Amino acid sequence: MNRLSSRPRKLGIAGILVTLTLVTGMASAEDTIKVGVLHSLSGTMAISETTLKDTMLMLIDEQNKKGGLLGKKLEAVVVDPASNWPLFAEKARELLTKDKVAAIFGCWTSVSRKSVLPVIEELNGLLFYPVQYEGEESSRNVFYTGAAPNQQAIPAVDYLMNDLKVKRWVLAGTDYVYPRTTNKILEAYLKSKKVAKKDIMINYTPFGHSDWQSIVADIKKFGSTAKKTAVVSTINGDANIPFYKELGNQGISAEKIPVIAFSVGEEELSGMDTKPLVGHLAAWNYFMSIDTTKNAAFIKQWHDFIKNPKRVTNDPMEAHYIGFNMWVKAVEKAGTTDPDAVQKAIIGVDFPNLTGGTAKMLPNHHISKPVFIGEIQDDGQLLTVWQTNTLVEGDAWSDFLPESKAIIADWTAPISCGNFNTKTKKCSGQNF
Amino acid sequence: MKPNSFGWYGWAMMGLILMLPASSSGQDSASEAAFSAAVANLKSGSMKERGLAIEQLAGVHNPRAIVILQALLDGRLFKLIADDKLVIGEEVDAGYKLFDAKNAESLGTVDRSATQKIYVTNNLRTSLRKIIGRLELNDNDAGVRLAAVKAMGKAVDDESLMLLQKHLSVEQDKSVQKAIKRILGLEQLNSADKTTRLAAIELLKGQANQNVVNRFNELVDKDAEGHYLEADSDVRNQIKTALVKINTQLQVYAAIETLFFGLSLGAVLVLAAIGLAITFGVMGVINMAHGELMMLGAYTTYVTQQLMPDHLGLSLVVAIPAAFIISALAGIVIERGIIRFLYGRPLETLLATFGVSLFLQQTVRSIFSPLNRSVATPEWMSGSLQINDFLSLTWNRFYILVFCLLVFALLLQILKRTRLGLEVRAVAQNRTMAKAMGIQTARVDALTFGLGSGIAGIAGVALSQITNVGPNLGQAYIVDSFMVVVFGGVGNLWGTLVAGFSLGIANKLLEPYAGAVLAKILVLVFIILFIQKRPRGLFPQRGRAVEG
């Protein structure tokens, strides 16, 4: 009885829903431009990525207040890939085929980007990727607004070598693609600078490693010689807190053995007890503490939007800020959101950084960035101790690895290739 | 307000000129002016200027100088935004309690936003420590003097050497004397006179000190052109014999250190597994939410710490019973609500408790946000027990080791001596018979599960001190916990203890050779092989109870 009577009702509801979505779909297709936001809102990466989702909402909101884009309102389509790498690909497909978004802003870990890549190339979408990464990639459909290794790792090592006179190096990282590749590049770079093999110690630990006793003791022993020692840390995420705690407990101060981190920023510091970290270093392309009018306005806008004056801003947020505004400029220039037209239009587009200087989209789909090195203070902010004089152009393929030395990426004619070998003058069959 | 560089150097010069008469005749007004100028310069923009201001401040003989420099080093020196005054702040609930830097006059409490911090960099910290060391060399407390000498020994310069040499004649304390002699001895190794060098080696060879070892190693090594740094072969041989002795010592220290690391890792494993040893071992329930019960304990620590921010140590003590109660209650709810319907169906229990674990994680995420919460470590738990330069035991690990043993002993007593323990053992051995004897098995089940969960909560308190308090805390430990319980033998608490410690030590022995990732894999492979051979673990339960 019950079953029979509920069936037509269910069908009816479904029918109404279908018509509703069709109607709204048609309506929105006419007067809004959809922007996909592909950041994990649950799972391990939610810590970092939720902030970026909010940043995107803020930027889109602001653009709409300015009158939208091409006379249309922007509409954010937020999906949750739940820190699940294959789900990133599925959600990207959903955004491109079902929601028909004009561009996607998202991903954090390299593995999530690699998972989205085939989808976005197949469906010819646009992805703006805001996080520092290991390089060795340039896709026609991806714009890398975070730092390549030459915009973060290499300048950081230069600083340690020239300013702090570091002679012995510990390369410590979490065991996955970004640290492995970065450390490979750094090792090659150090060797090119005549650092002996016995003066380099490389160490990998699993995600979320919490028992750092022996590793820190090893670092202490390694650094106990008369030569100045530093740790270059690509340790990612949660594992950092017990790592720094152990350093503090075993009496290794930043003055003795400084640790320079590539994955510790203001957002990560806000959840930490900063006592053991004071004086250690971080290298980024943006610090919240940098005093410019643009940055102050951005921080104020963020606090107003998120309604919490204690929230911090960080490097990937600036990357999204630049990436989004570059996309807006490119769409205006092209007069359409068509991916092919935008890809052509965006190369050469420039937009001012929050910290001074102007970022430019390069033919290899990376951008030019300033590099800052800061010392961690006990309020969780980073105090700039060194910065590059000029903006550094992102290099997709590292010059320090023998296998990628001859390779460049250039998406302008006549090369139009993300993996072009300058020796053989050939574009590899690989798309990215 | 930022003075240009010329103006600043002018001030510095003036300070120096003013200092000369001040130090010789003790003229107050001139010294006062130099002091004020130096204090004003601390506020200046660039780090270089700040560094010069520190040197300048150290030069004026004013009792406040050392207080200001110490505050700067500790990050307690601020500038009032309103009137640009330099103040020392103490953190209180409402903001900062301020004192005038120059005359210690109390200025009341202000909000954080009204102040701007005077930052220092590592370079400045090093020079601050050295300067404070020099100033503290005349302190009345021998401990302070010893620390001062050690700080000066880190970056030796001519001025420090001169001061130390002078101080040695008036120093009464033995350990301070020894530290000074060591620094001077290291310097004498560079002497041109052979007998002086030999005497220095004689003095230094018995000391377990990193600087001594480094210097010795350097001296017997060849430089880039193949010459020995120490040209005289007699002296070199002396050093070599001393080094051989030191190196044997070092090996012993390294072994002790590894053992300690292993025991402390083992203690964490035992703490995490011991609750599971009860729920899984005694009751046979595969509880995938065990890790999340630890997470609840860790969050309880966080909350108690938020409730009593001024009593860090006490909040930790309060957190232990609080975490036990909260996790035990959660455990009882899980048992009464879900698990009791699934006894004898391990697969369904596994799935249901896995669901519970996801539910608990997401609940915590919604309440506390997905960000990790920072749980502060009380003073007595940070730092390490410095035995000598080569051996130090970290306090937090040490306390956790002790805590683990206490919890274990307590649990053993509960199971052995209390009525609840008796009933738990009876039900575990033979449920039907226990029921026939009038034991309310349902109630015992709930209480046993509550006890196991409560212990998990206590483990969470300990974990909050060494790892991150976040929604994923539990997941990191669940595999380890099962590993320890299975390896030790299901249903045996002693087995869990032995298994935890032996796995910890094995892990730490392997780590230096194999790396953290591989060491863990090797341990897992070993356990798989071991379980093949002895499926019931290290200490299997024997007798009729096993079949039941």
The per-residue DSSP string of B291-333 comes to HHHHHHHHHHHHHHHHHSTT-HHHHHHHHHHHHHHHHHHHHHH
pTM of the complete model beyond 0.90 = no
Enter the tokens of residue B112. Answer: 């954080």
**Which of A211, A239, A261 marks a domain boundary?**
A261
Contact state of A245 with B377 under an 8 Å Cβ cutoff: yes
Task: Say which amino acid occupies B130.
Answer: K
Find chain B residues with C-beta within 8 A of A166's C-beta: none
HEC-encoded secondary structure of A208-235: CCCCCHHHHHHHHHHCCCCCCEEEEEEC
Full domain range(s) for residue A218: 153-261
Full domain range(s) for residue B64: 5-125
Contact state of B374 with A47 under an 8 Å Cβ cutoff: no
> Contact, B275 vs B293, CB < 8 A?
yes
Residue A191 DSSP label: H
How many beta carbons lie within 10 A of that of residue A196, not counting itself? 10
Using CA coordinates, name the residue in chain A closest to B376. Answer: A273
A298, A367: one domain:
yes
A121, A177: one domain:
no
Q: Which of A33-47, A348-362, B222-236 has the highest mean pLDDT?
A: A348-362
Are β-strands A200-205 and A168-174 bridged in parallel, bridged antiparallel, or unpaired? parallel
The torsion angle over the Cα atoms of residues B332, B337, B341 and B342, rounded to 10 degrees, is -70
Q: How close A151 comes to chain B (CA, Å)? A: 23
Q: Check residue A430 and give its pLDDT.
A: 59
**Which of B231, B261, B286 marks a domain boundary?**
B231
Tell how far CA A44 is from the center of its chain. Answer: 16
> Contact, A250 vs B392, CB < 8 A?
yes
A128, A6: one domain:
yes
Positive or negative torsion for Cα B273, B277, B281, B285: negative
> Contact, B323 vs B297, CB < 8 A?
yes
Is residue B528, in this structure, part of any structural domain at all?
yes
A46, A136: one domain:
yes
> Contact, B315 vs B307, CB < 8 A?
yes
B501, B403: one domain:
yes
- Rounded to whole angstroms, how far apart are CA atoms B432 and B415? 20
How many beta carbons lie within 10 A of that of residue A244, not counting itself? 28
Q: Which of A250, A275, A375 sits opposite B121 (nearest CB)?
A: A375
Using CA coordinates, name the residue in chain A closest to B129. Answer: A255
Find chain B residues with C-beta within 8 A of A287's C-beta: none
A138, A86: one domain:
yes
- Rounded to whole angstroms, how far apart are CA atoms B343 and B339? 7
Instruction: State yes or no: pLDDT of A69 exceeds 90.
Output: yes
Find chain B residues with C-beta within 8 A of A208's C-beta: 472, 476
- Rounded to whole angstroms, how far apart are CA atoms B294 and B271? 10
Complex ipTM: 0.75
Q: Check residue B4 and give its pLDDT.
A: 45
DSSP states of B217-275 = HHHTSB-TTS-BSS--HHHHHHHHHHHHHHHHHHHHHHHHHHHHHHHHHHHHHHHHHHH
Contacts of residue A381, defined as CB under 8 A and 6 or more positions apart, other chains included, come to: A266, A269, A287, A288, A289
Instruction: List phi, psi (to 5°) of A382.
Output: -115, 125
Contact state of A210 with B467 under an 8 Å Cβ cutoff: yes
Q: How many residues does chain A have?
A: 432
**Coil vs helix vs strand at B527:** helix
**Which of A243, A261, A279 marks a domain boundary?**
A261
> Contact, A285 vs A323, CB < 8 A?
no
Instruction: State yes or no: pLDDT of A372 exceeds 70.
Output: yes
Cβ-Cβ contacts under 8 Å between A and B: the total is 124
Find chain B residues with C-beta within 8 A of A385's C-beta: 47, 121
What confidence tier does A146 reach under pLDDT thresholds 50, 70, 90? very high
Is residue B60, in this structure, part of any structural domain at all?
yes
How many beta carbons lie within 10 A of that of residue B538, not counting itself? 17
A140, A157: one domain:
no
Contact state of B394 with A249 under an 8 Å Cβ cutoff: yes
Q: Buried b / exposed e across B106-133, counting CB within 10 Å, b at 16+?
A: eeeebeeeebebbbbbbbbbbbbbbbbb
How many beta carbons lie within 10 A of that of residue B303, not counting itself? 16
Q: Check residue A13 and give its pLDDT.
A: 52
Is residue B132, in this structure, part of any structural domain at all?
no
B112, B171: one domain:
no
Domain count of the fold of chain A:
2
Q: Which of B122, B365, B516 sits opposite A254 (nearest CB)?
A: B122
**Which of B198, B231, B264 marks a domain boundary?**
B231
Is residue A115, in this structure, part of any structural domain at all?
yes
Q: What is the pLDDT along chain B (548 residues), one digit of tens a residue?
A: 444 444 444 454 444 444 444 444 445 677 778 788 877 787 776 777 788 888 888 777 777 888 888 888 888 888 887 777 888 888 777 678 888 877 777 888 887 777 777 888 888 888 888 888 877 777 778 888 888 887 777 777 777 788 888 888 878 788 888 888 888 888 777 777 888 888 888 888 777 777 788 878 877 777 767 777 777 778 888 888 888 888 888 889 989 999 999 999 999 999 999 999 888 877 888 899 999 999 999 999 999 999 988 888 899 999 999 999 999 999 999 999 999 999 888 899 999 999 999 999 989 988 987 777 888 888 888 888 888 878 888 898 999 999 999 999 999 999 999 999 999 888 888 888 889 999 998 999 999 999 999 999 999 999 998 888 888 888 888 988 999 998 998 778 899 999 999 999 999 999 888 888 888 899 999 999 998 998 888 888 765 555 44
Contact state of A249 with B395 under an 8 Å Cβ cutoff: yes
A130, A115: one domain:
yes
Is residue B225, in this structure, part of any structural domain at all?
yes
Is residue A411, in this structure, part of any structural domain at all?
no
Look at the block and give the residue holding tokens 């790892």: B467
Q: How close A174 comes to chain B (CA, Å)? A: 10
- State which H helix or E strand residue B546 sits in: helix B544-547
Is residue A136, in this structure, part of any structural domain at all?
yes
Instruction: State yes or no: pLDDT of A300 exceeds 50.
Output: yes
Contacts of residue A72, defined as CB under 8 A and 6 or more positions apart, other chains included, come to: A31, A32, A33
- Burial of B321 per CB tally in 10 Å (0-12, 13-18, 19+): middle
> Contact, B201 vs B189, CB < 8 A?
yes
Is residue B142, in this structure, part of any structural domain at all?
no
Positive or negative torsion for Cα B215, B219, B220, B222: positive
Beta bridge mates, A105: A37, A128
Q: What is the mean pLDDT of residues A224-234?
A: 90
Instruction: List phi, psi (to 5°) of A134.
Output: -85, -5
Which of B190, B269, B357, B372 is the best mutation test for A, with the most CBs of A within 10 A?
A: B372
Is residue B134, in this structure, part of any structural domain at all?
no
Using CA coordinates, name the residue in chain B closest to A253. Answer: B122
Using CA coordinates, name the residue in chain B closest to A40. Answer: B370
B418, B525: one domain:
yes
**Coil vs helix vs strand at B228:** strand
Q: How close B466 comes to chain A (CA, Å)? A: 6
From residue B110, give the alpha-carbon distance in Å to each of A219, A379, B80.
42, 17, 9
B226, B294: one domain:
no
Find chain A residues with C-beta within 8 A of B383's C-beta: 248-249, 251
Q: How close A275 comes to chain B (CA, Å)? A: 9
A127, A164: one domain:
no
Is residue A83, in this structure, part of any structural domain at all?
yes
> Contact, B109 vs B95, CB < 8 A?
yes
- Rounded to whole angstroms, how far apart are CA atoms A156 and B291? 39
Q: Residue A177 is part of a domain; what is its CATH number?
A: 3.40.50.2300
B534, B422: one domain:
yes
B481, B370: one domain:
yes
Q: Check residue B333 and give its pLDDT.
A: 96
Q: Residue B301 is part of a domain; what is its CATH number?
A: 1.10.3470
Expressed in angstroms, the distance from the first to the final Cα of chain A is: 59
Q: What is the share, in percent, of chain A residues with pLDDT greater than 90? A: 61
> Contact, A77 vs A102, CB < 8 A?
no
Segment A108-140, tens digit of pLDDT? 989 899 999 999 999 999 999 999 999 999 999
Q: Which of B258, B468, B515 sits opposite A204 (nearest CB)?
A: B515
Q: Which of A46, A251, A378 sits opposite B392 (nearest CB)?
A: A251
DSSP states of A365-409 = SBBEE--EEEEE-TTS-EEEEEE-SSPEEP-SS-TTSGGGTTEEE
A139, A85: one domain:
yes
**Coil vs helix vs strand at B383:** coil
Instruction: List phi, psi (to 5°) of A45.
Output: -85, -5
Q: Which of B217, B362, B476 sits opposite A208 (nearest CB)?
A: B476
A5, A143: one domain:
yes
Residue A146: which of A137, B250, B133 has the closest Cα? A137
**Which of A216, A242, A261 marks a domain boundary?**
A261
Expressed in angstroms, the distance from the first to the final Cα of chain B is: 84
Q: How close B258 comes to chain A (CA, Å)? A: 7
Domain count of the fold of chain B:
3
Contact state of B75 with A258 under an 8 Å Cβ cutoff: no
- State which H helix or E strand residue A205 sits in: strand A200-205
A143, A198: one domain:
no
- Burial of A390 per CB tally in 10 Å (0-12, 13-18, 19+): exposed
How many beta carbons lie within 10 A of that of residue A71, not counting itself? 8
Instruction: List phi, psi (to 5°) of A373.
Output: -120, 130
- Rounded to whole angstroms, how far apart are CA atoms A160 and A190? 11
Is residue B327, in this structure, part of any structural domain at all?
yes
B174, B95: one domain:
no
B173, B310: one domain:
no
Residue B287 DSSP label: -
Q: Which of B126, B384, B515 sits opposite A255 (nearest CB)?
A: B126
A1, A144: one domain:
yes
Is residue A417, in this structure, part of any structural domain at all?
no
Contacts of residue A167, defined as CB under 8 A and 6 or more positions apart, other chains included, come to: A195, A199, A227, A228, A229
* Inter-axis angle of helices B312-337 and B290-307, nearest 10: 140
Enter the tokens of residue A161. Answer: 């070598």
Enter the tokens of residue B476. Answer: 């990191």
Contact state of B371 with A375 under an 8 Å Cβ cutoff: no
Using CA coordinates, name the residue in chain B closest to A377. Answer: B119
- Rounded to whole angstroms, how far apart are CA atoms B501 and B268? 9
B104, B164: one domain:
no
Find chain B residues with C-beta within 8 A of A377's C-beta: 75, 117, 119
Contact state of B383 with A213 under an 8 Å Cβ cutoff: no
Is residue B88, in this structure, part of any structural domain at all?
yes
Q: Check residue A154 and give its pLDDT.
A: 93
